[in-house]
Structure 1
Amino acid sequence: MDKNSTTNRKHHGIFKMIQVVLKMLIMVIFTGYIMIWIMMPTDTFWLHWLPTIHSKLDSTYLGKQGANVLVYTVPILLIAVLSCLYLHLEKYLDSYGQSSVKFLPFASWRRLALVKSPLGIVSWTELAFLAMFITLLIWSFSSYLHEIFKNITRESAAQMGDNIWEAKLQSSALMLGLLGNICLAFLFIPVTRGSSIMQIIGLTAESSIKYHIWLGTTTTLLFTAHGLCYIAYWINKNNISEMLKWNKVGVSNLAGVITLICGLVMGATSCNKIRRKFFELFFYTHHLYIIFVVMYVLHVGFTYTCIILPGIYLFLIDRYLRLLQGQQRVRLVSARVLPCNAVELNFSKHSELCYSPTSMMFINLPSISKLQWHPFTITSSCKMDSDVLSVLIKSEGRWSSELYKKLLSPSPPDRLLVSIEGPYGPASNDFLRHDMLVMVSGGSGITPFISIIRELIFISDTANCRIPKILLVAAFQRSVDLSLLDCLLPLTGTSCNISGMQLEIQAYVTREKEAVTAGLDLDQTSICFKPNLSDRSAFQVLGPNYRLWLMVLIASSFLTFLLLIGILNRCYIYPIDHNSELIYSSSLRSILNLSFLCVSIVVTVTIGFLWNKTRSTREGMQIFSPDSPTLMTTSPGSHNNLDIELESPPNYSLSHVTTTYYGEKPNLERIISQCGGPNTKVLVSGPKKMREEVAAICSSSLRHNQLDFESISFSW
């Protein structure tokens, strides 16, 4: 035992040392990348750095885009590759009880700065980076204009056939476009669901969405101003037909107009009111991003596109992986229909599929909609539920209501075709380092806390380590909604014991003075689905070594892309224009480069996906007998009958740790203040008003040094 312990400590030390080296390397690369953006508006960059770079990197193989590839594309892709390796090592550190994912500066500076603002709940870290980004935009715009305006004179303007103000308007329009490119360079990174870059700083797919919204809004405003300035210039020159020009060489105006129209449509349908009321309109129009990107490339040319390429490149890899995973049918084992209009779906899970608590996944049901994918929190624990993956779906929208009606019909289906994407979640969790966890939920917001509690129950049963005290404050509108608490424990098949945990549940029913059961069917219906040989267990898209494979795919696909465009330039384009970019069609060059980029991603990612799919199939997937029963009705009861007997002694039920309050809302300030301590973490998941209230309490002057706050939101 001592020998194993010594070996583990040695391995831990080696992995930790490698991570430290990776940290430093990532920070150096990122600092250099940001320095390039800071220096771009200066004469030093344009008159000294850029000519030197082009003279050394322009070649018969990559042409003038070689410099942009090295300066703008390679750094971010290299960071993504190194981040994958860092996160892969994190998996081994977790097995030794260690975790160190959040390493970037200010990662511990998480005190809240804004609570009720148009930006939502914002920490000082986020506010600081936002301020630095805005400063970069202001610096770039002012520097560009200063350098250009000082060279605009009456003589220079007259040579172009313009007045001074017209020349300045045209220059301002161009600079606004350059400013929009800064935002566009980062726009796709937050929506890359499997992004190693976001995960390495502790961000998840859902928590990164707000950064995409900020960047998308700013990009739309800047590009709109860019387009309007040019339109005003052309109108003043009585040359509005310039909008429809598609030049063989150089900028194509018509492609830019189409890009702007797509951006405006996406921006308009992304407004909060439209997105919430007409989600399908938002969902489908947002796919205009494909036309947006293609037209942008044709507008500015592929050489210039390399400046904003890395974010798009990583997104395309992630999107294609999601497409491949989404084509697989997943084995749906059973469903539990709760009396509160909620459904728990249980999928067969590959034994090697691992995910962290609070993870989420996207579900597609072709029988309801072939195109719609909806995100749901995973309620199961991959440690406690080794063969089952569960999600809880509340019937609140049209899609979820259709599912609920389908399962509750007199003759429920004996099989449902289901596809999933994910899971997506944090690389690791830090719950064990806290003395107490306070979880505040509203309605279906309880779902992420189910996975946390199940995970901690398993750890308390199997590991010899300290488990934090847990207080769950759950607010519901109706007493029938209390049945959601039944999902805190698996229905069958899993041994668990909560008697050794310090677990307290405070349930509040806000709209009823007492339990209302008259006329309600409180039975829970469990449906077992028949399997099909074409179904497979839920699996990680690239296997258990997902990060390692993703690192290989990013590197190999990009090298393949460079090889293809090198052959194209050397054998076909260079003999025609000799790197002048003044003869060969810019649009055709862009289409060829874009095609090779897509081909390199499709080929390499498909090979990686099929390799891991074949491996997981060879190792065996659990497919149950087609003669399984299809329907059984049980009555574990609503919360009024919470005596769910556990399978491991001593028998213990949730009713022993649950206190129910009717006709009142939780006094969150009192509850949280009583739980305050030097090492307390407060998590909140629920309506926006509740999240803001808890955030305000945690950010107050009395508590900001004691409470670690985290908001979990799946709607924006």
Structure 2
Amino acid sequence: MDPKTPNSGVIKIIRAIIIALIILVSLGYVFILFMDPTNLYYLSWSPKIQAKADSPYFESEGATILINTVPVLFVAVMGCVYLHLGKLSNFNYKKGIDPQSWLAICRKQMIIRGLGIVSLTELAFVVMFIGLLAWCFSSYLHTTFPGITPQAAAQMGMKVWEAKLKYAGVFLGLTGNVGLAFVLFPVSRGSSLLPTFGVTSEASIKYHIWLGHTVMALFTAHGLCYIVFWAATYQLSEMSKWAKSNISNVAGEISLVAGLLMWVTTIPRIRRKMFEVFFYTHHLYIIFVVFFVFHVGISSAFIMLPGFYLFMVDRYLRFLQSRQGVRLVSARVLPCEAIELNFSKSKGLVYKPTSTIFVNIPSISRLQWHPFTIISSSSLEPEKLSVMIKGEGKWTKTLYQMLSSPPSIERLQASLEGPYGPTSTDFARHDKIVMISGGSGITPFISIIRDFIYMNVTMKCEIPKIILITVFKNSPDLSILDLILPISGPLSNFAELDIQIQAYITREKTPPTNEQHKINNLHSVWFKPKPSDVPISPILGQNNWLWLGAIISSSFVMFLLLVGILTRYYIYPIDHNQSGKYSYSTRAALNMLFICISIVITASSAFMWNKRKDAMETRQVLNLEKASPLANSPIAGFYNEERELESLPNQSILPFTNVHYGQRPDLKKILFELKESSVGVLVCGPKKMRHEAARICSSGLVSNLHYESISFSW
């Protein structure tokens, strides 16, 4: 630990206090959501809060901002401080897990039909969230339906069933708002909320899917109730009304149509076979959110504002990062239609194994961004970031053809977003680790093994024994195993690991001939980047979490100032805090404009400040690359006139591999034979493989297996 760093014990205490405060505020926020549909809150608590929060500066918006927005943004900012302190301390891992401990019980994963592989903690949160939605809807019905008598319905000019249908539609919409409050949290890749609660952006995608289905089901039912009600009461003309100072029906219909288009394209068959349709249609979220705000008004929309606000901050920072061309140094081309791309990076960019980046190649598509798992280790390779790309789709196959077909290209323009991944990993806590992969699912395990090489060779740490079980379709895929060793790493580093590699080739029953083996050479393409291409660096510098907290807090303060000035000196003189005198839509549009202005100004300022600070380190990296012996070595073969692919001296790992042809691994037999007290079972591959391993580990027949799915497919 750096001697200037505060004592780790003090940091632990501060982090414990922060996380306790975060949990307390989060529980308070959920409690308010729980109480919102009750008469106690509506008739007693809300008027008192409204009376204290109302002012000429915010009018009725003040209470909703205080209740629905401030708690979540406070948790996000405190999460930034919590994560920053975590980077300052080097905590020791604890080997082994007591299978009876509460931590092991919470982590225990099981297969639930319709949900897939979930932990006990995830299942508990799913049940509680469904319970919250059920409670909200039933509570609304319980407090309202008893008052809908024939006499009360007649006074409204309706029949009893018509009145109940109308209010049921209202309550379905209000319940959907609760789900909408959470739906954007899982897709804010760089947000502090996910890592604060120990969740990665990749693992949280399933939560976004579950929430999206729930929200759209509720909003669709909400819309259908109103359409049936209007048809039954001969008021279909209501569908074309955009009220000035009330609910806008047209805006709601536009928002619902946009949501339905997004929802339809998430059908697995459409998403997989027509991914571009799914990808581009999902950008309708902008229309969905904007017209949702126009539909309900800005005051009611503050329930979903925190998630949207954090998503906007994250999205704009990603936009700033993606505008830079990154320095692509080289590529290794494999015979199995896979490539390894090697980017230059600054030493200050640190990431954990299993992290991902999003890559854009403008020469293939300017709009498409594809996620790939990082296979390099930021500890072992401080100046390089690598990803493996398997040619399995149109985009990836086009990239492979560009790099594998002579004459090779001299420069490949690329942009990146990320990296995104866990803030810490504890794979080394186990006595033995079993890594099970199918096809390109081996990529996260390459980064873990490279990290173990660093821990073993450089830090002299005790690392667990490793069993790597890989399943490939054809023998050329075995060349992927050679990516385990970095392009500049000696084979002796790998040989020092206590590792067994069991490779299974399912479509071939006999080993290939010597002639066939010759095609399994790795080839290298070395690029000549432009001077404007920069090494990958942290978008907000070394103290990225503190900068993110500063952006969230300062932008929100700026938003409040802009809204306060507008309301006090323009809106309040017109309406004097009386609903109906000032246009709902205009107020909503101005609020959304102020949100965008505040985020753009603060995030751009922070980005430019850190970009200037990174400029010196970038120049040092570029000077080091120029001075590197590689620059003048025969490896840089692309400088010749033909620019033919140059074959690198290949240090193959195949001699360390036990290859099985024409069969699949017997996972049950392999796992049950392991006798170590703590065995981590990491699985990345097809759904069937993950579920099989999960059933074995959760069967209860053994207590030393701890399952962990590492899946990037959704």
Which bracket does the TM-score occupy, shorter chain normalised?
Answer: over 0.9
**SS class of match (1:582):** coil
How far apart are the structure 1 equivalents of 2:317 and 2:356? 17
What is the aligned partner in structure 2 of residue 460 from structure 1?
Answer: 456
Equivalent position to 1:88, from 84, 88, 102: 84
Alignment deviations for residues 629-688 of structure 1 (CA, whole Å, 9 cap, x no partner)? 425422656xxxxx54xxxxxxxxx34532111111111111111225332111000111
Which residue identity is paired with 1:579?
N
Q: 1:382 to 1:111 in 2, by over 3 A?
A: closer
Matches within 5 A, 1:549-698: 549-621=547-619, 622-623=621-622, 624=625, 629-630=637-638, 631-634=644-647, 643-644=651-652, 654-655=653-654, 657-698=656-697
Equivalent position to 1:543, from 541, 544, 568: 541
What is the aligned partner in structure 1 of residue 98 from structure 2?
Answer: none
Which residue identity is paired with 2:555?
S
> Contact 1:524–1:633 at 8 Å: present in 2 too?
no
Matches within 5 A, 1:12-27: 12-27=8-23
CA apart distance, 1:301: 0.5
How far apart are the structure 1 equivalents of 2:601 and 2:259? 30
**SS class of match (2:504):** strand
Matches within 5 A, 1:180-579: 180-492=176-488, 497-517=493-513, 518=515, 521-579=519-577
Equivalent position to 2:129, from 127, 133, 145: 133
Alignment deviations for residues 467-499 of structure 1 (CA, whole Å, 9 cap, x no partner)? 111111111111110000000001126796134
Alignment deviations for residues 387-437 of structure 1 (CA, whole Å, 9 cap, x no partner)? 110000000000000000001121111001100000000010001211111
Amino-acid identity (%): 51
How far apart are the structure 2 equivalents of 1:488 and 1:14? 39
> Contact 1:440–1:472 at 8 Å: present in 2 too?
yes
Q: 1:41 to 1:381 in 2, by over 3 A?
A: same
**SS class of match (1:498):** helix
Which residue identity is paired with 1:302?
I
> Contact 2:203–2:711 at 8 Å: present in 1 too?
yes
Give the gaps of 5 or more residues in structure 2.
Answer: 96-100, 639-643
Q: 1:408 to 1:308 in 2, by over 3 A?
A: same
| Structure 1, 332-341 or 673-682: larger mean CA deviation | 673-682
| Structure 1, 528-537 or 671-680: larger mean CA deviation | 671-680
Q: 1:99 to 1:80 in 2, by over 3 A?
A: farther
> Contact 1:340–1:481 at 8 Å: present in 2 too?
yes
Which residue identity is paired with 1:303?
S
Q: How many residues align?
A: 692
Which residue identity is paired with 1:408?
S
How far apart are the structure 1 equivalents of 2:250 and 2:35? 31
Alignment deviations for residues 191-250 of structure 1 (CA, whole Å, 9 cap, x no partner)? 000121111222111110000000000000000000000000000111111111000101
Alignment deviations for residues 302-349 of structure 1 (CA, whole Å, 9 cap, x no partner)? 011111110010000000011110110000000000011100000001
Q: 1:68 to 1:495 in 2, by over 3 A?
A: farther
Mapped pair 1:97 → 2:92: yes
What is the aligned partner in structure 2 of residue 59 from structure 1?
Answer: 55
> Contact 1:458–1:496 at 8 Å: present in 2 too?
no
How far apart are the structure 2 equivalents of 1:434 and 1:118? 31
Q: 1:9 to 1:314 in 2, by over 3 A?
A: closer
Which residue identity is paired with 2:524?
S
Which residue identity is paired with 2:534?
R
How far apart are the structure 2 equivalents of 1:112 and 1:493? 37
> Contact 1:457–1:496 at 8 Å: present in 2 too?
no
> Contact 2:482–2:654 at 8 Å: present in 1 too?
no
Q: 1:64 to 1:619 in 2, by over 3 A?
A: same
**SS class of match (1:150):** helix
Q: 1:584 to 1:472 in 2, by over 3 A?
A: same
Which residue identity is paired with 1:287?
H
How far apart are the structure 2 equivalents of 1:494 and 1:51? 71
| Structure 1, 520-529 or 75-84: larger mean CA deviation | 520-529
What is the aligned partner in structure 1 of residue 706 from structure 2?
Answer: 708
**SS class of match (2:382):** coil
TM (norm. structure 1) is 0.94
> Contact 1:8–1:96 at 8 Å: present in 2 too?
no
Which residue identity is paired with 1:552?
A
How far apart are the structure 2 equivalents of 1:52 and 1:362? 48
Q: 1:195 to 1:109 in 2, by over 3 A?
A: farther
> Contact 1:698–1:709 at 8 Å: present in 2 too?
yes
> Contact 1:113–1:127 at 8 Å: present in 2 too?
no
> Contact 2:485–2:494 at 8 Å: present in 1 too?
no
Which residue identity is paired with 1:296?
F
> Contact 2:22–2:75 at 8 Å: present in 1 too?
yes
How far apart are the structure 1 equivalents of 2:658 and 2:519? 23
Which residue identity is paired with 1:32?
G
How far apart are the structure 2 equivalents of 1:513 and 1:110? 43
Alignment deviations for residues 236-269 of structure 1 (CA, whole Å, 9 cap, x no partner)? 1111111110001011000000011011100000
Alignment deviations for residues 506-557 of structure 1 (CA, whole Å, 9 cap, x no partner)? 1111111122355673232200000211100011111121111111111111
How far apart are the structure 2 equivalents of 1:8 and 1:464? 24
Give the gaps of 5 or more residues in structure 1.
Answer: 638-642, 645-653
> Contact 1:338–1:525 at 8 Å: present in 2 too?
yes
Q: 1:106 to 1:229 in 2, by over 3 A?
A: farther
Which residue identity is paired with 2:570?
Y
> Contact 1:106–1:125 at 8 Å: present in 2 too?
no
How far apart are the structure 1 equivalents of 2:6 and 2:384? 34
How far apart are the structure 2 equivalents of 1:85 and 1:398? 42
Which residue identity is paired with 2:561?
L
Q: 1:301 to 1:665 in 2, by over 3 A?
A: same
> Contact 2:373–2:387 at 8 Å: present in 1 too?
yes
**SS class of match (1:367):** coil
How far apart are the structure 2 equivalents of 1:668 and 1:149? 56
What is the aligned partner in structure 1 of residue 641 from structure 2?
Answer: none
Equivalent position to 2:26, from 19, 24, 30: 30
Alignment deviations for residues 99-149 of structure 1 (CA, whole Å, 9 cap, x no partner)? 99xxxx976534556426221111211111111111111111111001011
